[in-house]
């Protein structure tokens, strides 16, 4: 029976280019979305660009441009990268839009009216000269450890990190004036009251989560437990606070960005004549996947579900949590200060989308950190895509083109092969549903190996001279293997699958055994993958 599937890919933050670590974390969402569509389910796959918050305003100040222009520039870059990598989002949105802002304000108003929020006075760093409150990153001072010069929470000299409150002789980053403390009122959310409910939620859903999500969530709940958190921030870039007396503040980005899943899903449904309430709320036939990197886990396993509980509107809580570990580059963690993160833009200028997607699935940091180098990508491409899959397709089809004008012979497909293929659909499908994508892609590789072995054992190049009906049967069987392998690979490497479909005039196959019409002629047969040297 067809079901509804909601997939939320994490929202990349608009103050830097996308790097490979982002894509390694987000790619599973696209594979899962593509699979469920082929399996006949109604899929809604959303993500977008996270546009607000302090880092963007600081970058804007440094570059003397508006925060909006920073956010929109990166949004454009992200959209372009995802398009080139064949991400099949139903909606790739951004938090800097009116629909999202109105939705967030509506949520905050509801939470305020239902007593989930309260006002709290804090003493915050203030510059009398600039007439503004300062965030940690806008303060400089003396390091509490070595006495050197420190910026915000990190020392330039000894590189230690600490709480910015521990700095002495604090000065304003902009004008150098000494910093004083001023009282400031913020809105807080009673997150602490969800400790038990969230603990129950986590333990009842863990069997659907990746190991890192289980671990990080348990740690988060055990360490300090849930504490109330400020939802307003002293900023002039972001979404207005819909509560009186907070005109000079904006909604804190941590609570606003996760609401993007709901606002983007709702907007998509409204624009496509679908009923969002039916789709997402109160529905036993809805399955959900949330896909992100390790550093994003508590937002999806704790904050977001607690927010849905607080709203008390029958929103379904996240089911599958697909969070990955880190992808290292040349065995080193990706870090901004080292500048070793390979950008997606750079990689796309060298390699095809299929090669990148194949490598990032094969090397995916599903259970532990894994390593990426361009050499690994090239080796995998040459070994599996060129040497095994591409070679199998090519030796069968170019022979037909050369000797039979590309006409597909009339023969019987080996029934043992049919059942092997059908088994692969079932195994690979189950693995994708469980987000075990490395195992899924290896299962398809096994079928490709089996196909090459079948071809070598039957020796159709000899059969063609000795027993034409045996040749026709072997070739029909190999053709069945080719189209079905392409179909199985489509969620992972869609470009090459579409090329194979075009050879055979097949369009949009479902997740099931495909038969090829005998006697038809192949179209525009070409080499599927070329070797990278
Ligand atoms: Zn100042
Ligand atoms: Zn220091």
Q: What is the pLDDT of residues 185-194, one digit of tens each?
A: 999 999 999 9
pLDDT at 2: 83
Span 326-332, average pLDDT: 83
Using pLDDT thresholds of 50, 70 and 90, give the confidence band for residue 162.
Answer: confident
pLDDT at 514: 96
Q: Residue 406's domain is classified under what CATH number? A: 1.10.730.10
Report d(CA 107, CA 72) in Å as an integer.
25
Report d(CA 317, CA 303) in Å as an integer.
11
Separation of CA 55 and ligand 1 centre (Å): 18
- 390 and 485 share one domain: yes
Q: Which ligand is nearest to the CA of 160?
A: 2
Each residue's pLDDT tens digit, 172-182: 999 999 999 99
CA 333 remoteness from chain centre: 19
Each residue's pLDDT tens digit, 246-275: 999 999 999 999 999 999 999 999 999 999
Each residue's pLDDT tens digit, 341-380: 788 999 999 999 999 999 999 998 888 888 889 999 999 9
Separation of CA 152 and ligand 2 centre (Å): 12
pLDDT at 315 over 80: yes
Domain boundary among 324, 343, 364: 324
Q: Which ligand is nearest to the CA of 132?
A: 1
Domain that holds residue 473: 374-504
Separation of CA 153 and ligand 2 centre (Å): 10
pLDDT at 281: 87
Neighbours of 379 (CB within 10 A): 13
Q: Which ligand is nearest to the CA of 126?
A: 1
137 part of a folded domain: no
Which H/E stretch holds residue 374?
Answer: helix 374-380
496 part of a folded domain: yes
Q: Which ligand is nearest to the CA of 127?
A: 1
332 part of a folded domain: no
Separation of CA 150 and ligand 1 centre (Å): 17
pLDDT at 337: 59
pLDDT at 339 over 70: no
Separation of CA 132 and ligand 1 centre (Å): 7
Q: Which ligand is nearest to the CA of 143?
A: 2
The percentage of the chain sitting over the pLDDT mark of 90, rounded to a whole number, equals 83
Separation of CA 174 and ligand 2 centre (Å): 21
Rg of the chain, C-alpha, whole Å: 27
Separation of CA 151 and ligand 1 centre (Å): 14
pLDDT at 18: 93
- 59 and 199 share one domain: yes
- 408 and 285 share one domain: no
Buried b / exposed e along 140-167 (16+ C-beta atoms within 10 A): bbbbeeeeeebbbbebeeeeeeeebeeb
Separation of CA 60 and ligand 2 centre (Å): 28
- 314 and 379 share one domain: no
**Structure-token pair, residue 177:** 């004036």
- 385 and 276 share one domain: no
Determine whether 232 is exposed, middle or buried from the number of CB atoms within 10 Å of its CB (0-12, 13-18, 19+): buried
444 part of a folded domain: yes
- 70 and 199 share one domain: yes
Q: Which ligand is nearest to the CA of 158?
A: 2
Span 104-127, average pLDDT: 96
Separation of CA 462 and ligand 1 centre (Å): 84
153 part of a folded domain: no
Separation of CA 183 and ligand 2 centre (Å): 29
157 part of a folded domain: no
Work out how many domains the chain is built from and give that number: 2
**Structure-token pair, residue 351:** 């390699």
Separation of CA 54 and ligand 2 centre (Å): 24
Neighbours of 46 (CB within 10 A): 25
- 291 and 389 share one domain: no
Q: Residue 80's domain is classified under what CATH number? A: 3.40.50.620
Neighbours of 340 (CB within 10 A): 14
120 part of a folded domain: no
Contact assessment for residue 40 and residue 275, using Cβ atoms and an 8 Å cutoff: no
354 part of a folded domain: no
- 409 and 489 share one domain: yes
Q: Which ligand is nearest to the CA of 149?
A: 2
Contact assessment for residue 199 and residue 190, using Cβ atoms and an 8 Å cutoff: no
Span 513-526, average pLDDT: 94
Report d(CA 48, CA 39) in Å as an integer.
25
Separation of CA 246 and ligand 1 centre (Å): 22
């Amino acid at each position: 029976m067809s079901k509804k599937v909601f997939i939320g890919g994490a929202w990349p933050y608009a103050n830097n280019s996308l790097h490979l670590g982002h894509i390694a974390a987000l790619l599973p969402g696209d594979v899962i979305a593509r699979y469920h569509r082929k399996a006949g389910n109604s899929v809604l796959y959303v993500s977008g660009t996270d546009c607000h918050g302090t880092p963007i305003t600081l970058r804007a100040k440094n570059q003397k441009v508006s925060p909006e222009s920073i956010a929109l520039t990166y949004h454009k870059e992200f959209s372009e990268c995802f398009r080139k990598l064949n991400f099949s989002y139903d909606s790739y949105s951004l938090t800097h839009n009116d629909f999202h802002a109105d939705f967030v304000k509506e949520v905050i108003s509801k939470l305020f009216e239902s007593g989930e929020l309260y006002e709290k006075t804090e003493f915050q760093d203030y510059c009398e000269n600039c007439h503004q409150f300062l965030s940690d990153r806008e303060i400089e001072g003396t390091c509490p450890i070595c006495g050197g010069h420190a910026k915000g929470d990190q020392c330039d000299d000894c590189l230690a990190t600490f709480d910015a409150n521990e700095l002495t002789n604090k000065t304003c980053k902009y004008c150098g004036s000494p910093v004083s403390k001023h009282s400031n009122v913020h809105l807080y959310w009673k997150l602490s009251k969800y400790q038990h409910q969230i603990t129950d939620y986590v333990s009842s859903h863990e069997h659907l989560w990746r190991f890192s999500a289980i671990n990080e969530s348990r740690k988060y709940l055990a360490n300090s437990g849930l504490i109330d958190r400020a939802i307003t921030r002293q900023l002039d870039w972001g979404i207005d606070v819909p509560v009186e007396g907070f005109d000079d503040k904006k909604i804190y980005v941590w609570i606003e960005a996760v609401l993007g899943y709901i606002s983007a899903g709702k907007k998509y449904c409204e624009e496509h004549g679908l009923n969002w309430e039916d789709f997402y709320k109160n529905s036993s036939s809805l399955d959900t996947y949330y896909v992100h990197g390790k550093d994003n886990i508590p937002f999806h396993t704790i904050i977001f579900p607690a927010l849905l509980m607080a709203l008390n509107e029958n929103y379904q809580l996240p089911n599958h949590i697909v969070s990955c570990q880190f992808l290292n580059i040349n065995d080193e963690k990706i870090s901004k200060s080292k500048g070793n993160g390979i950008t997606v833009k750079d990689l796309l200028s060298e390699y095809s989308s299929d090669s990148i997607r194949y490598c990032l699935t094969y090397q995916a940091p599903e259970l532990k950190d894994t390593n990426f180098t361009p050499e690994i990508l090239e080796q995998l491409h040459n070994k599996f895509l060129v040497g095994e899959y591409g070679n199998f397709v090519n030796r069968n089809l170019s022979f037909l083109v050369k000797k039979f004008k590309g006409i597909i012979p009339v023969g019987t497909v080996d029934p043992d092969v049919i059942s092997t293929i059908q088994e692969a659909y079932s195994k690979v499908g189950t693995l994708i549903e469980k987000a075990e994508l490395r195992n899924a892609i290896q299962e398809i590789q096994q079928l490709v190996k089996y196909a090459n072995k079948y071809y070598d054992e039957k020796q159709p190049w000899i059969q063609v001279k000795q027993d034409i009906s045996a040749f026709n049967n072997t070739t029909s069987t190999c053709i069945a293997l080719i189209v079905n392998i392409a179909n199985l690979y489509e969620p992972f490497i869609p470009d090459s699958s579409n090329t194979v479909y075009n050879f055979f005039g097949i369009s949009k196959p479902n997740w099931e055994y495909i038969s090829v019409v005998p006697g038809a002629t192949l179209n525009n047969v070409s080499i599927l993958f070329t070797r990278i040297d």
